[in-house]
Amino acid sequence: MKETGEHVQVDFRTEPSRYKHWRLELDGRVATLRMDVREDGGLQPGYELKLNSYDLGVDIELYDAVQRLRFEHPEVGAVVLTSAKERVFCAGANIRMLGRSSHAWKVNFCKFTNETRNAIEEASAESGQSWLCAVNGPCAGGGYELALACQHIVMADDGNTSVALPEVPLLAVLPGTGGLTRLIDKRKVRRDRADYFCTLEEGVKGKRAVEWNLVDEVVPRTKLEETARRRASELAARSDRPADARGVALPPLERRVDGDRVAYRWVTCAIERGRGVAEITVAAPDAGPPPDPAGVQAQGAAFWPLAVARELDDLILHLRANEEAIGLWVLKTSGSADLVEAYDRLLDQHAGHWLVREVRLYLRRTLKRLDVTSRSLFALIEPGSCFAGTLLELALAADRSYMLAGTREGESAPPATLRLTAVNFGAYPMPNGLSRLASRFLAEPGRVDDLKGRLGQDLDAAAAAEAGLVTFTPDDIEWGDEVRIALEALTGMEASLRFGGPETLETKIFARLSAWQNWIFQRPNAVGAKGALQVYGTGQRAEFDPRRV
């Protein structure tokens, strides 16, 4: 956790029976998720999680709850997020934890918490599962950012309860989990009010909070639960989720770690520590898909697209948190394009079915995680690979791709090919709202339409290059040197070139705010020996260098 690079290995897998910090209550169409952070339940030693403040461990459980509500509880049309504590909603990210953490840990922590807030918003917008927030006590910093991710915020109107983004006055950092963007772009709070609000340690309460659109409504403390429940029922009544469907259980994900190799059922990863490279291989299914959504439901978590999403998701989170020095991820695939295409057809034809929709959205979120990952991503497309449809998205998510032209001397495998399926044309939009194909062809949008004429065709290296789908197509003789040089070259563009075109709340949050966060977490005013983040809670006064850039 410190700059020494030593911190506990983080495991992102959990389940409700192991939750330390949240209580999930199910009651028909409405679920209630109560934040009840255990002070001594920190992921790392050295800090206490007072006042419902959170660390990565708290957020891992929240993420798990978001996932399970979507897959295991099709009947839930609305989720009330509130605090189980008597006198506080949530004090935000734990300051002691931040003060002790390395720069990379802080930024990575913020990235993950941002992704979970985005998933909450996606549930409200796309999944018929609306989140609303009942603010029943002081709600500050990351606590308010959590509220901001909800579709509706109802707040108790008492002397104690307020919303606040006190990061600047208290800590000399900026809110790191989308707070500023959601304030001015989602809730469209007038910028001068937002400016003032962000300098108030004590925040804003009561009528002014409604007038400034910081919350949607305030009610007397005694009416808070009832009001939240009523609003939730109203939202749930508008949900298209089936009240009577059976959910899909998400059993513990099996992962085998063997030295520098991590293996799941469909996804494997081999780390070459010397070169700083992780080779990630995703395998196509080994049998055809079930005939219909009922069959998907019967397969449950074993349904290949869902299994791949879970495994890849876990691997991305594992590598980001636990393998900071692995700067280049090489993406590979294997197996049968016909089978992937068959699965994609099912995903496409039944896109409106609640479970199929959830699987598609989960794949979309997982692919977005790749998009915002601060690692170089290369795809290697070789004989035996299977870059088709859903798996082709991996090559399109990569910063660049190398496709072997022709065969390898002494090998019998036929030349590599790519195959487009319907899902490549919009099922998995990037954070900028465009498909990866549309992002790729910003200069010539017509090419995306042309490519629809090539759906289902096997495109060899020449055809793929002609179609603009790959970066380089060396032959067997050139391959060794070209790929070796590419893997050894200094990269580090990180996500800088991935988001051409339109901006969305998400791209603003990741491209702009994360960048600010990168800066602000370096600033001596925050992290210097006398920085606000370091001396917080010690009784010492922070020293500020007033110079600006």
Residue of the chain from 133, 331, 398, 451 that contacts its own copies (CB under 8 A): 398
Amino acid at site 88: V
211 touches its own copies by CB under 8 A: no
- The token pair that represents 375 in the structure block: 């690692």
Q: State which of positions 144-173 bind its own copies (CB under 8 A).
A: 168-169, 172
- The least distance separating its own copies from the CB of residue 35, rounded to whole angstroms, comes to 27
- The least distance separating its own copies from the CB of residue 533, rounded to whole angstroms, comes to 14
Residue of the chain from 44, 213, 299, 457 that contacts its own copies (CB under 8 A): 213
Residue of the chain from 324, 338, 348, 482 that contacts its own copies (CB under 8 A): 324
- The token pair that represents 133 in the structure block: 């927030």
440 touches its own copies by CB under 8 A: yes
In this complex, which beta carbon is closest to its own copies, that of residue 192 or of residue 258?
192
Distance CA 481, CA 148 (A): 50
Distances (CA, A) of 25 to 31, 35, 352: 6, 11, 27
Region of 152-160, 241-249, 259-267, 539-547 interacting with its own copies (CB under 8 A): 539-547
The contact pattern for its own copies, residues 84-123, with x = CB under 8 A and - = no contact, is: -------------------xx--xx--x------------
**Residue carrying structure tokens 């419902």:** 52
Region of 42-50, 113-121, 382-390, 510-518 interacting with its own copies (CB under 8 A): 510-518
5 touches its own copies by CB under 8 A: yes
List phi, psi (to 5°) of 219: -140, 160
- The token pair that represents 209 in the structure block: 């909070």
Residue of the chain from 48, 185, 338, 482 that contacts its own copies (CB under 8 A): 185
- The least distance separating its own copies from the CB of residue 549, rounded to whole angstroms, comes to 4
Distances (CA, A) of 256 to 253, 264, 268, 379: 10, 6, 9, 24
In this complex, which beta carbon is closest to its own copies, that of residue 290 or of residue 433?
433
Distance CA 80, CA 446 (A): 44
- The token pair that represents 499 in the structure block: 């988001």
- The least distance separating its own copies from the CB of residue 196, rounded to whole angstroms, comes to 6
CB contact at 8 A, 61 and 15: no
174 touches its own copies by CB under 8 A: yes
Region of 154-162, 228-236, 345-353, 392-400 interacting with its own copies (CB under 8 A): 392-400
How far apart are the two ends of the chain, measured CA to CA in Å? 30
Q: State which of positions 399-438 bind its own copies (CB under 8 A).
A: 399-401
Q: State which of positions 357-376 bind its own copies (CB under 8 A).
A: 374-375
Q: How many residues bind its own copies (CB under 8 A)?
A: 73
Q: State which of positions 216-275 bind its own copies (CB under 8 A).
A: none
Residue of the chain from 288, 512, 540, 543 that contacts its own copies (CB under 8 A): 512
CB contact at 8 A, 309 and 362: yes
**Residue carrying structure tokens 């590419």:** 486
Using alpha carbons only, give the angle 113, 118, 123 rounded to the nearest 5 degrees: 125
- The least distance separating its own copies from the CB of residue 397, rounded to whole angstroms, comes to 10
Distance CA 134, CA 103 (A): 33
Q: State which of positions 267-306 bind its own copies (CB under 8 A).
A: 276
Q: Within its chain, how far is the Cα of 501 from the centroid?
A: 21
498 touches its own copies by CB under 8 A: yes
Region of 116-124, 228-236, 418-426, 487-495 interacting with its own copies (CB under 8 A): 487-495
- The least distance separating its own copies from the CB of residue 535, rounded to whole angstroms, comes to 14
**How many residues comprise the chain?**
549
Distance CA 265, CA 429 (A): 26
In this complex, which beta carbon is closest to its own copies, that of residue 417 or of residue 517?
517
**Positions of E strands within 244-389:** 256-258, 261-263, 267-272, 277-283, 328-334, 376-381, 387-388
Residue of the chain from 251, 295, 502, 537 that contacts its own copies (CB under 8 A): 502
Distance CA 474, CA 62 (A): 45
